[in-house]
Amino acid sequence: MTRSLALNARLFWDGARLSYVALFRWLRPMQYLASKIFMPLAQILFFSVLGLYAGGPQGVSFFVIGNAMQLTAVNGIYGVTMSIGGDRWEGTLPYLFGTPANRAAMFLGRAFLHLIDGFFGVLLAFGWGMLLFRLDLSAADPAGLGLTILVSTFSTACLGLLMGCLSLVTLNVMFVNNTIYFLLLVFSGANVPVASLPAWMQAVSWGLPLTRGIAAARRIIDGGALADAAPLLLGELAVGAVYAVLGYSLFRWFEFQAKRRGTLEAF
């Protein structure tokens, strides 16, 4: 039993590390700087300045916090999708389907380092907000805010696991990823208050990652206690878990179909 757990833990870590460092197209210095530093800066500047001059009642901090938290989707959606879909594009998917190794450890491990990377990406985004828009974090509980960022990154990574499975059966998953990313800008409450959306959009919003995480972050930064945000964070965890289960179920079904058809390259 102990030996099995040790093997699965090693499989989880090795899969997480190797799938992350194998993102050669993304992890070149200039591409990484563009995606992790300049793009977050551009997004926060655009929406915060737009909101500032639109004269909305929320204030500029509403847009800074929303977009800083929404940047978890850079790693959660794009990074995790590329980690899973890379097995297909690099020709290693048949080896993955052929190995007797624990599937859950391999599958979930693809998201682990992106969760950590996404966490620090949000901290960097908050740094931009403090530097450029004087975002005040003095009333925030650091542990509560850190937990909120971590939970939000987890939920978006779980959505990325589901999107990564779609990359095994489609030729243009990046189009789908881009669509989801930009829809989150509206539906998650990052730039538009969820309460002001039509009823059907609110229903969709609460079924997506980040909606509760962004609301929890705003509550904590305003001086609220972690206990006040706990129901939102528990809901965010539940949403992420649902997407992770859906993604893993889809992954196993694709594997079954690939073996049944004898393609080993999904469809």
Q: What is the pLDDT of residues 206-216, one digit of tens each?
A: 999 999 999 99
Residue pLDDT, tens place only, 62-118: 999 999 999 998 888 888 888 887 777 766 777 777 777 778 888 888 888 888 888
Percent of the chain with pLDDT over 70: 91
CA distance 110 to 79: 9
**Cα separation of 132 and 252, whole Å?**
46
228 Cβ contact partners less than 8 Å away, ≥ 6 residues apart = 219, 220
Per-residue pLDDT at 207:
93
Q: Which residues contact 233 (CB under 8 A, 6 or more apart)?
A: 147, 148, 151, 212, 213, 216
Most confident of the ranges 14-23, 32-41, 176-185, 258-267: 176-185
Q: 155 burial class (0-12, 13-18, 19+ CB within 10 angstroms)? A: buried
pLDDT at 36 over 90: no
Instruction: Check residue 216 and give its pLDDT.
Output: 95
Rounded CA-CA distance 182/201 in Å is 14
Q: Looking at residue 205, what is its pLDDT? A: 94
pLDDT category at 55 given cuts 50, 70, 90 is low
Dist CA 107 CA 243 (whole Å): 13
Residue 239, phi then psi, degrees to nearest 5: -60, -45
Highest mean pLDDT among 50-64, 67-81, 231-245: 231-245
**Per-residue model confidence (pLDDT) at position 57:** 58
